[in-house]
C-alpha cells in the first residue's frame, strides 16, 4: 500500500466525523490514545445507550477537504439503529436520527478548532418509527471523547438538553465511500457507519 493511500483513509475518517460533528467529534491527535479493542470495555459499565449508526446520505464538506489547511463546514444526517440500554435506563429508545452541522480547520489528516451543534431525535421503535421519546441537543467536545481516530471527534459531544442531559455521546466510524480523492481534487463528501455510545 502506498503512503498516500494510507494517509487518505485516515483523513477521510477525520472529516467524516467532523461532518457528523459532533457526530461532530478531537478531532485531533490526543483523542487517539485509546485502542479500539480496549476503550469500549473500559467504559462498558457507564454506558446508558448504544446504537449502530450509518449516514442517511454522505456527509458533505464545503469547501472540499484537501491537503492544505482550510476552514471546512460539514453537514449531515446520521441514522441510529438497534439501540439498546446496557444499564436499563432507556429501554424505551430503539432508534434515532442525528442531524449535525460543524466546522473546523481541516486537512486530509487533521481537523482542529471544531465548532458546531447537533440534535438527536429519539424514537420508541426501530427504523425511526413509533412515538418521539424526546430530542437531545449535543455540543461538540473540543478535545474529543475516547476516539482513536481524528474523525471520531466530530461524532462526540456532550448532551446539553433533552433525554440524557449531561451525558457524553461518542461515535466510532469508518468510511463507506471512497476517500482517495482527498489529496487530489479534494474530498466533498463521505458516507459513514459505526457505533454510537451514550455514557
Model confidence at 159, pLDDT cuts 50, 70, 90, reads: very high
Model confidence at 152, pLDDT cuts 50, 70, 90, reads: low
- Per-residue pLDDT tens for 47-74? 999 999 999 888 899 999 888 988 888 8
The answer to whether 55 and 133 have CB atoms below 8 angstroms apart is no
- pTM for the full predicted model: 0.75
Reply yes or no on whether the pLDDT at 78 is more than 70.
yes
Reply yes or no on whether the pLDDT at 22 is more than 50.
no
Reply yes or no on whether the pLDDT at 25 is more than 70.
no
Q: What is the pLDDT of residue 142?
A: 56
Q: What nine digits make up the cell of 4?
A: 498516500
The owner of cell 471544531 is 114
Rg over CA atoms, the chain:
16
- Per-residue pLDDT tens for 176-192? 988 888 889 998 988 88
Q: Which of 85-89, 147-151, 173-177 has the lowest mean pLDDT?
A: 147-151
Identify whether 63 is preceded by a cis peptide bond (ω within 30 of 0): yes
- Per-residue pLDDT tens for 85-133? 999 999 999 999 999 888 888 888 777 777 888 899 999 999 999 999 9
Q: What percent of the chain has pLDDT over 70?
A: 69
Q: What is the dihedral of CA 6, 18, 29, 32, to 10 degrees?
A: -80
Q: What is the pLDDT of residue 179?
A: 85
Residue 188 has a CB neighbour count (10 Å cut-off) of 17
Average pLDDT over residues 148-153: 46
Per-residue b/e over 43-82, b at no fewer than 16 CB within 10 Å?
A: beeebbbbbebebeebbebeebbbeeeeebbbbbbbbbee
| Mean pLDDT computed over every residue of the chain | 75
Residue 145 has a CB neighbour count (10 Å cut-off) of 23
Please report, for residues 47, 55, 58, 102, 139, the alpha-carbon distance to residue 142 in angstroms, rounded to integers and kept in the order given.
Answer: 21, 22, 23, 12, 9
Task: Tally the C-alpha atoms within 13 A of residue 179's C-alpha that lie toward its C-beta.
Answer: 30
Per DSSP, 70 falls in state E
Reply yes or no on whether the pLDDT at 16 is more than 50.
no
Q: What nine digits make up the cell of 12?
A: 477521510
Angle at Cα 57 formed by Cα 130 and Cα 74, nearest 5°?
110
Amino acid at each position: 500500500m502506498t503512503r498516500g493511500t494510507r494517509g487518505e483513509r485516515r483523513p477521510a475518517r477525520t472529516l467524516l466525523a467532523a461532518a457528523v460533528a459532533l457526530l461532530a467529534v478531537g478531532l485531533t491527535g490526543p483523542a487517539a490514545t485509546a485502542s479500539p479493542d480496549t476503550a469500549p470495555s473500559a467504559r462498558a459499565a457507564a454506558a446508558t445507550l448504544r446504537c449502530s449508526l450509518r449516514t442517511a446520505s454522505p456527509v458533505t464538506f464545503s469547501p472540499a477537504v484537501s491537503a492544505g489547511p482550510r476552514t471546512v463546514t460539514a453537514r449531515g444526517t446520521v441514522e441510529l439503529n438497534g439501540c439498546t440500554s446496557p444499564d436499563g435506563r432507556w429501554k424505551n429508545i430503539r432508534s434515532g436520527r442525528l442531524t449535525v452541522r460543524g466546522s473546523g480547520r481541516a486537512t486530509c489528516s487533521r481537523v482542529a478548532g471544531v465548532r458546531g451543534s447537533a440534535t438527536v431525535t429519539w424514537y420508541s421503535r426501530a427504523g425511526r418509527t413509533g412515538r418521539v421519546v424526546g430530542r437531545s441537543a449535543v455540543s461538540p467536545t473540543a478535545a474529543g471523547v475516547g476516539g482513536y481516530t481524528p474523525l471520531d471527534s466530530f461524532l462526540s459531544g456532550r448532551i446539553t438538553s433533552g433525554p440524557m442531559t449531561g451525558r457524553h455521546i461518542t461515535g466510532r466510524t469508518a468510511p463507506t465511500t471512497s476517500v482517495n480523492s482527498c489529496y487530489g481534487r479534494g474530498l466533498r463528501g463521505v458516507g459513514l457507519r459505526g457505533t454510537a455510545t451514550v455514557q
